[in-house]
Each structure stands twice: as C-alpha cells, then as structure tokens.
Amino acid sequence: MSNRNSSFARFGWVVFIGLLFVLATMYVSLTNGMFDISVKDVFRTLLGLETNEDYRLVIFEFRLPRIVLAALVGAALGMAGAVIQGITRNGLADPGILGINAGAGMTVVLFMFFFQGQVTFTGWLGVMLMPLFGLAGGIAATLCMYAFARQQGRLDPQRLVLVGIAIASGFGAVTLFISLKMNPRDYETAVSWLAGSLHGANWRFVVTMLPWMLVLPLCIWLRSKQLDIYQLGEDSARSSGVAVEREKNLLLLCSIGLVSAGVSVSGSIGFIGLIAPHLARRLVGLGHKYMLPVSGILGMAVVVIGDFIGKTLFAPAELPVGIVVSIIGVPYFVYLMIRTRN
C-alpha cells in the first residue's frame, strides 16, 4: 500500500510540475515575438478589458490558437508513442520512425492534390476531412508494417524499426512526387506543412482536434492495464484472459487516430513519440496508468518549446517546429540505438 501511495504521490508531483512548466512556456510564447506584449496587457486582453485591437488580433488570432494547437499535437503524439512502444515492446518504436506519420502525411497531400483549388485547406470542410484522410494513410502504413515485420505470426521488434524506416522512405517518396505535381501555390502550402509547421494555425484546427483528443486518450488510458500485461509477452497476456489481438488492434487504431489528427493539422513532427515515453518512464516508472498522461504532458512541453524556438530564434524568418524537434530527436535516437545495442 505504501509503495502505491508513493507512486501516486510521485505521479501527482510530476503532473503538477509538468503542467506548471507547460503553462509557463505557453505564457512566454504568448508574450514574446515580433510584437512583444506586457503581462498587464495580456491579462487585460484575455479578460476582454483591453480596447487595443492590435493586441486582440495578435493574441486571439495568431498566438493563442497556435499555442493551444501545439499543446494538443504534442499530447497526441506523446501518448501515441507510448501506446506503440507498449504494443510492440520496442523502446525505439515511434509513429514517425515506423512510417505512420509518413503514411498519414501522404494521404493528406493526396487530399490537397485532388481538391486543389476546390477546398480551402484552412476552411471547415478541409480541416474536417484531412484527419480522415490521415487516418486512412496511418492504417495503410500499419498494415504494411504488420505485413513485413511479422515473423511466425508475431511482430519482430528488431525488424520493426528497419521495416518502419523503409515504409517511411517509400511513403515520403510518393508524397514528394505528388507535391511536385501541384500548382505553385498549393505546392508551397504542402512543403511548409510537410516540414511540421504550425504557422497557419487557427481555431478551426483546434476544434478539429478536440473530438479526437476528448475520446481517444480516455479510451487508451482505460486500457492501460492491458498495456502493462503486454510487457510480459503475448502468451502471458493470453493466459491472463486478455483478448490480445482485439485489444492490440483497438489500441493501435486509437494511436493511429491520434497521430493522424496531429499530422493533419501540423504536418509531420517526428520523435515526440520516441522522446516523451522514455522520459515518462524515468519519471514515473513503467506502469502505463501513470506513464500515459505524463507522456502527453511531456509531448506538450516539447512541441510548445520547439514552436517558440522556431518562431523566435531566426526572426523574422521562421523555422518549422518539426525541424527544431528533429534537431533534438535525432541525437537522442542515436543514443538509444547505442544503449540498446550494449
């Protein structure tokens, strides 16, 4: 009982400090940029007391939706990465490395290509349809992964990463080919989006993500015990009475849904699903009941910080958040590869 209370207390402190850090980062991002706003003016604008229309425009139309969207995308990718690592029992698994991001990205670019000039990508119809296209692409990538990485009816953790990299490269090549066939205006939109950019974020994107974020994380968290049992092996899970294939497919579909929703509004942001779960395990242990929410919070923090760095470090030019996160993620991935080999 004391160990359980200690774990819960540690989890509580980690969540509290993590959320405090995320809120502090959001505040810094909200007040700093090409147009700095004082603390007083921010609070007056948020409370509706500020009459300066410039402040209202900068906060409510440009900065706040972008910050909220960064937090939602980070949470989605962090939790999805934790689920995929739990299902595959592979610490190097990540939606980007396994090709799920690339699959979702390819179908979203297909949507842009087939509907170019007919649907506004930032309008309601475009932002509502893109996650569904992304979901189809994520499922296609997963089916390819299952087809080539299974050995004797089971996923081989060693082959999984190699197959994922190959799938990501293949889908990436198709995406590049499709984007080159677009008209110049849509091509610029697609290239900026593929780099993992939140530059065009608006409240429509936030509303689009909310249904996915309200349903799928809860569905995943309620099955955290199944993820814990999977770590003992599929045979042990079956002997415990778990419907392994059904639960695995449901969890995988939920994680693909989160990835697809994130990719559809922000482009391909890699390595969040790799970094966040590893840090979460170090902070709260292996239990997915605690690890899943912490992965989401850490994903939030990484994307919000990455977006802030990208839009301020080279101002007035802007570096996409996907590139900033990759600069952090690639060395971390190499470090994990070396540690796993040893």
Counting the structural domains of the chain, the total is 1
| 149 vs 160: CA distance, rounded Å | 5
Which of 203, 176, 204, 202 minimizes the C-alpha distance to 190? 176
3-state secondary structure of 165: helix
pLDDT of 2 above 60? no
The boundaries of the domain holding residue 167 are 2-341
CB within 8 Å of 131: residues ≥ 6 apart? 208, 209, 212, 260, 261, 264, 265
Are 81 and 272 in contact, with CB atoms under 8 Å apart? Answer: yes
* SS3 readout for 177-201: HHHHCCCHHHHHHHHHHHCCCCCCC
* Ramachandran region, residue 150 (left: φ > 0; alpha: ψ -120 to 50; beta: rest): beta
E strand or H helix that includes residue 154: strand 154-155
> Residue length, the chain?
342
Instruction: Dig out the tokens for 218 from the structure.
Output: 């809860």
State pLDDT tens for residues 5-55.
678 888 999 999 999 999 999 988 888 877 777 778 888 887 777 677 777
State pLDDT tens for residues 256-268.
889 988 888 888 8
What are the backbone dihedrals phi and psi of residue 300, each rounded to the nearest 5 degrees, phi first? -55, -50
Share of the chain above pLDDT 70, in %: 91
Higher pLDDT, 238 or 270: 270
| 77 vs 271: CA distance, rounded Å | 9
Task: Write down the residue that tokens 């089971």 correspond to.
Answer: 154
Are 166 and 94 in contact, with CB atoms under 8 Å apart? Answer: no
In this prediction, residue 24 carries a pLDDT of 92
> Average pLDDT in the 101-125 region?
74
> Average pLDDT in the 221-233 region?
85
In this prediction, residue 296 carries a pLDDT of 95
Are 83 and 252 in contact, with CB atoms under 8 Å apart? Answer: yes
Q: Model-level pTM?
A: 0.89
Task: Write down the residue that tokens 């292996």 correspond to.
Answer: 286
pLDDT of 330 above 60? yes
State pLDDT tens for residues 192-217.
777 888 877 888 888 888 888 999 99
Higher pLDDT, 269 or 122: 269
In this prediction, residue 157 carries a pLDDT of 65
In this prediction, residue 303 carries a pLDDT of 94
pLDDT of 339 above 80? no
pLDDT of 342 above 60? no
In this prediction, residue 18 carries a pLDDT of 93
In this prediction, residue 32 carries a pLDDT of 81
In this prediction, residue 150 carries a pLDDT of 75
In this prediction, residue 125 carries a pLDDT of 67
CB within 8 Å of 108: residues ≥ 6 apart? 130, 133, 134, 137, 193, 263, 264
> Average pLDDT in the 276-297 region?
92
Residue 271 is classified by DSSP as: S
Average pLDDT, the chain: 83
> Average pLDDT in the 149-172 region?
79
In this prediction, residue 290 carries a pLDDT of 93
| 69 vs 202: CA distance, rounded Å | 8
pLDDT of 121 above 60? no
> Average pLDDT in the 66-85 region?
93
pLDDT of 120 above 70? no
| 269 vs 101: CA distance, rounded Å | 8
In this prediction, residue 118 carries a pLDDT of 57
* CATH code, domain carrying 178: 1.10.3470.10
